[in-house]
Structure 1
Amino acid sequence: KNKRLKDAIFGAAAACKEATLKHGKDKVTNATIGVMLDDNEELITLPTIEKVFKEIPMKELVAYAPISGLPEYLKAAENLTFANCRPEGYTSAVATAGGTGAIHHAIMNYAEIGEKVLTSDWFWGTYNVICVEQGKKLQNFTLFDENRNFNFASFKENVEDILKVQESILIILKTPAHNTTGFKLTEDDWDKVLDLLKTYAAKGKKAVVLTDIAYIDYAGEKNEVRSFMKKFGNLPENILGLFSFSMSKGYTFYGQRTGALVAVSSKKEVIEEFNEIMKYSSRACWSNINRGAMELLLRVQNDDNIYKSFEKDREEAHKLIQARGDLFMKEARECNLPALPYTGGFFLSVPTDNPQKVADLLHEDLIYAVPLKLGVRVAVCSVPIKKISGMAEKMNNALKKA
C-alpha cells in the first residue's frame, strides 16, 4: 500500500530538539508540542491525579476491562461530557483509546468506504490519516469568512455538495478550543448548523455530527462552554450527535490513551445499534482499553474532596495557558499580526501563503512552530510566558520576509 506517515508536528519537534541540543533550552522557544509545560518547561501533571494514580492497587491497574469499558466509567464519561447541559434523548458511551479512538470509531461506523467526511480547512491532520486508512475521503469547508467568523455559507455549500451524492454525511467539528486555532462556534453558529441538517433530515437524509471536545476543559467555564450540547436534544431520529471525550488533556493522562465516544439520539434503537457496532469495532481494534485509567477517573469523580482538589489543579493549569494565549493575542494586535481568533485552548494559528518559509525564518530567532497547509500553528500550552513576550512581533517580521 506504500503507506508512509508524514507528520508536520513531529518534524518540527525534531528540528526543535536539535536546536535545543546546540543552543540550550533557555534560548530556544518550543511551540511545537501539544502538551502543557510549566514555566520551567517541564511536563505538567495535575498533582491530585498523580496522587490518586499511585494509590490504585497494581491488580486494578493491569487487569482486563470489559470490551465497551467499565459501566461506571461510561456513566461518568457521559456526565463529564455534558455536565449540566445534557441534551434530552437517549444517550450512551463506549470506552475508546483516547479521543483519537473515538474519532476512529465514528469514521469507521458512520461513513462508508469511498464516501466523504466533512470537516473544516483548519483541522487536526489525524482526521485525514484515519479517513485514508479506512478508504474514505476528507472534504474541507472554509472555516472562516472574510470577517473571521464561522463561514456558514461554505459549510452549507459543502454539505449540499456531499448530500447530492451520499445518503448520509459525517461531519467533524472541533469546538470549543479548536485545534489548530483556539476558535469556537457560537450558539448562533450551532443553530444554523443544526437547522440546515434538519432540512436534509426532512428529505430522508441522515447526518452524524461528531463534536471533538478534546480541549473543552481548557476553553472556559464548564457549563458555559457546553451550553450548545442541549441543542442536540429532540433532533430528528436521522440526526445523531456524537462527542469525543478524552482523558489526555483534562486529566493530563496523555499516554494512557483513555477516552470515550458519547452518543445522543431521539430514537432508542439508534443508541442500541450504536452500542453493538461500537463494541464490535472495539473488539476488532484494541479489544479493551486501559482499566487503570478508568479506575482513576472513577476514584476522582466519586470522592467530593478529591474532585474539588482535582478541579482546583486543573483550573490553575487552565489559567496558565490562557494567560499565554491572551498575551500572544494582545501583542499580535499591537503589531498587526493577523492571528486567527483565539478564545482558549492549547493552540493558536497565524495564516500565511508560505507556512514552511515562515517557520524556517522563525528558526533564525530559535522559535519552532508547526507549518500547516494554511498557516503556522503555535502551541501556547508549551511555551513559558516569558518566551511568549515578543513572539508575535518576531512572527510578524517572518511573515513580511516570506
Structure 2
Amino acid sequence: MENLFIYYLLRMMPTFLILTCLVDWKTKKIETLVDLVDKSTNEGFTGVYAYSLPDRCWGDNDKMYFHDCQKSYREIMRLDVNTKSISCITSDTEKGAYAVFDVFDGLLLGRYANPAQPMKIFIAELPSSSDGFKDIDFCEIATTTVSISDNIKWEVLPLKREDSSGYPYEALFVSPRVVESLPPLIVLPHGGPHTSSIADFFVWTTCLVGLGYSIVFVNYNGSIGYGQDFIKSLLGNVGTLDVNDVQFAAESLVKRGSVDASRVFALGGSHGGFLSVHLVSQFPDFYKATFVRNPVINIASMRNETDIIDWTHSVTGLPYDPKVTPTPDQYSKMLEMSPIVHAHKIKGAVTLAVGAEDHRCPPSQARELYTLLHAQGKDVNMFLYPKDCHPLMSVDTDADCYMHCVLLFNKYS
C-alpha cells in the first residue's frame, strides 16, 4: 500500500470536457495527466473523449491502453503515466474503428471494423515504447458468405464553409461500389450533439447501401474528436451552425457528381432528428422525405419534460440554474432555435418513430410536429412503440423502424 494511485476520467459539464487524472492515495494530491486540447491539428492528438476505461487497461506498471475517437476514427491510445505522454498506436494504413477489450500478460485483445468490414477480433503483443502495432494478428471469430467490401466503398471528406465562423470539419461518405446510375443520398447527422460519427460497421448502413443508397454522416461543429473549441462553437448556435454544416456536406456531394440531386433524404434520431427536421424545413426543395426517431422538435416545450433540462440551456447558450425559472426571452430563444418554427415550410414526406417510454425526448415532441403537419394536410406518419425508450433498439422495434424507413425512401426514390 506504499504506492497506491487511482486513475479516473473527469467529465465537466455543460460541454464535453474530459480530463485524465491521477490521485496519490497517500498524499491525496490530484494531478492532471492529460489536459484539455483546445484545437486539433491536421495530424495531432485531439483530446480524450472516452466515457470509461477497460477493466484491465495496464500493459505494465506505467502504461495504460484504451480506445478513443480522434476525428472520424476510433483509435487505440497509449498513456505513459510517468511521462504524461499519450500517443495513438494503431495503424495509419488501416483506419477505421478500433476498441480495446482487455489487456493482460503483455497482450491486448481488441476489435477492428470499418464501414465495409464487419468486426474482427484480434490479439496483439503490446508494442515497445516507440512502436505501434506493426503486425496485428487478426483472429476472426466469424466469416461471411459475401465479401461486403466488394459492394461498399467509403471515404472521409474534409469540409470547410467559407461563409461560416465555425471550424473545418469532416463527413464520412459510404456508397455502393458499383452503380448503373447516380445513387440517391441519405443525409444522416448524429445525435448528441456532442457525439460523433466514426468509420465503424453498422447494420443499417450495410443494408441501406445494399439497396443502392449512399449515406453521408456529418461531424458538424459541436462533435467530439476535434478539440474543445470545436465542441464549444455550437453552444448558442444550434439550428444554424450545425444545420448549415450538414447541408453544405450534402450539397458538396451533389456538386461533385457523386449522388442524384433529385433523390435526397434525411435520417436521424434525437439531436440528429432535430437536424433532419430543420433540413427538410429550411431546404424544402432539396429533400424528398425524412425518417426521424425520437426527435427534438421544440426546445422550449421540451425544457420542462425532459430528464436533461440543463441540455436545453447548454445548446441554446443560456445559463442554467435549477432554482430559477427561465424568462420569457429565454423561452423565446429556445423556440427560435427549434425546427418547429420552420416546419410549415416542409414539402416532403415525414415519418416519426417514437418510444412511448422516452424521457430524454418525450413523445410530446414528435406529437407536436405530427399534429401541425397533419392539420396542414402534409404527408406525415407516426409510429409509437409502447415499450421502448430513447434508443428504440429492442430487436423488433429496430427492425420495424428499418422497414418503415426503407418503405418511405423507396416510395420517393
TM-score by length of 2: 0.27
Hey, which of these two has a bigger chunk of helix by percent? 1
Hey, which of these two has a bigger chunk of strand by percent? 2
Work out which structure has the larger RCO, using CA pairs closer than 8 Å and 6 or more positions apart in sequence: 1
TM-score by length of 1: 0.27
Larger Rg: 2
